[in-house]
Amino acid sequence: MPDATRRTRLGPLLALLPVGAAGAWLAYSRFGIDHRRRMPPALPGRQECLGGEAGGLSFYGATEAEGVPLLLIHSVNAAANAYEVRPLYRHYAKSRPVYALDLPGFGFSERSDRVYTPELMTAAIHAMVAEIRDRHDGVRIDAVALSLSAEFLARAALERRDDYRSLGLISPTGFDRRYERRSPKGSDTARSVVAYPLWGRALFDLLVSRPSMRFFLQKTWGSPDIDEGLLDYDQVSAHQPGAEHAPFSFLAGHLFATETGQIYPRLDLPVWMVHGTRGDFVDYRHAERFRAAPNWTIDVMETGAFPHFERLSEVTARYDAFLARLDA
């Protein structure tokens, strides 16, 4: 067969290959992937869900020790969950009451099909802090949040300052070029397109495939030496019913704050911040604005964006030193 004739006849077939591959993946997602994997607790001490404005919320608590309660809040990504704070939770459970929240749409918390926003996440933090303070005679708490959740925690502290003794921000977002401008609001159209029932779950399954998740964790670590336990748990958490709903709001931009530069400067509580120097999350050009502020302590470590997985003892030593100054 002459080459020209071969190309003419094969052209339509080649054009159908992407369509066929997409159809095969849709079928595999629906019939070949288990979306109800058994998910064990990410941490010891899983509690019953709280109800309220943010919907059903799951959390973990270790309260054998006495002291000022500590709340830990995981980040927001396609497979976020409380396992992200596991090293800190297990460490501090030996010396003080410690809690960890599954944010709405993640872990064992409600994963309903709704738009997830900073206001919803802030409401969840309010509900969790109210529960902790009720259990501990109304004492003000310390709270630590990772990445984008640092913005939610800052919002919560501005709205209810008297709930907190201090704030901890690990690799917080909002100190990059977004700091000085209003971020655009999320797109309902974008969310509707990616979440369309015909292909939404299949698209999410592609996003949270094991190779994809390893790739993104390596970008977070800035190294191939990621925590394999976190990857394994993320795989289970991302294959639960409704696991795609909150990430689709994240991808559509609904969860990004719009007034970052107006939030952090208003914090007058003691704030401890730490971030790494490796990976894709190292743009902290506006953090220098706060280095001389009397209520801010900023530490930088030669790690990725989850320094508590890489250098737990150093992270806790620096955080403890910050807290010791409050006690003094």
Q: What is the pTM of this model?
A: 0.87
pLDDT value at position 18?
A: 64
Element (H, E) at 272: strand 271-276
pLDDT in tens, 36-64: 678 999 999 999 778 888 999 999 999 99
Q: Residue 302 to residues 228, 272, 278: CA-CA distances in angstroms?
A: 20, 17, 7
Average pLDDT over residues 94-107: 97
Domains held by the chain: number: 1
Q: Is residue 36 part of a domain?
A: no
Q: Is residue 18 part of a domain?
A: no
Q: Is residue 1 part of a domain?
A: no
What does pLDDT average to over the chain? 87
Burial class (CB in 10 A: 0-12, 13-18, 19+), 209: middle
Q: Is residue 13 part of a domain?
A: no
pLDDT value at position 312?
A: 98
Q: Is residue 8 part of a domain?
A: no
Q: Is residue 165 part of a domain?
A: yes
Which range marks the domain in which residue 65 is found? 58-327
Bridge partners of 271? Answer: 167, 296
Burial class (CB in 10 A: 0-12, 13-18, 19+), 237: buried
Q: Is residue 28 part of a domain?
A: no
Average pLDDT over residues 124-137: 97
* Strands laid side by side in the 164-170 sheet: 58-62, 98-102, 70-73, 141-146, 164-170, 271-276, 296-301
- Rounded to whole angstroms, the Cα distance separating 140 from 129 reads 9
Helix (H, G, I), strand (E, B) or coil at 142: strand
Q: Is residue 79 part of a domain?
A: yes
pLDDT value at position 328?
A: 76
- Rounded to whole angstroms, the Cα distance separating 64 from 214 reads 35
The CATH code of the domain that includes 262 is 3.40.50.1820
Cβ contact 129:122 at 8 Å: no
196 pLDDT higher than 80: no
Q: Which two tokens stand for residue 192?
A: 């509707």
66 pLDDT higher than 90: yes
Question: Does residue 157 or residue 194 have the better pLDDT?
Answer: 157
- Rounded to whole angstroms, the Cα distance separating 208 from 38 reads 17
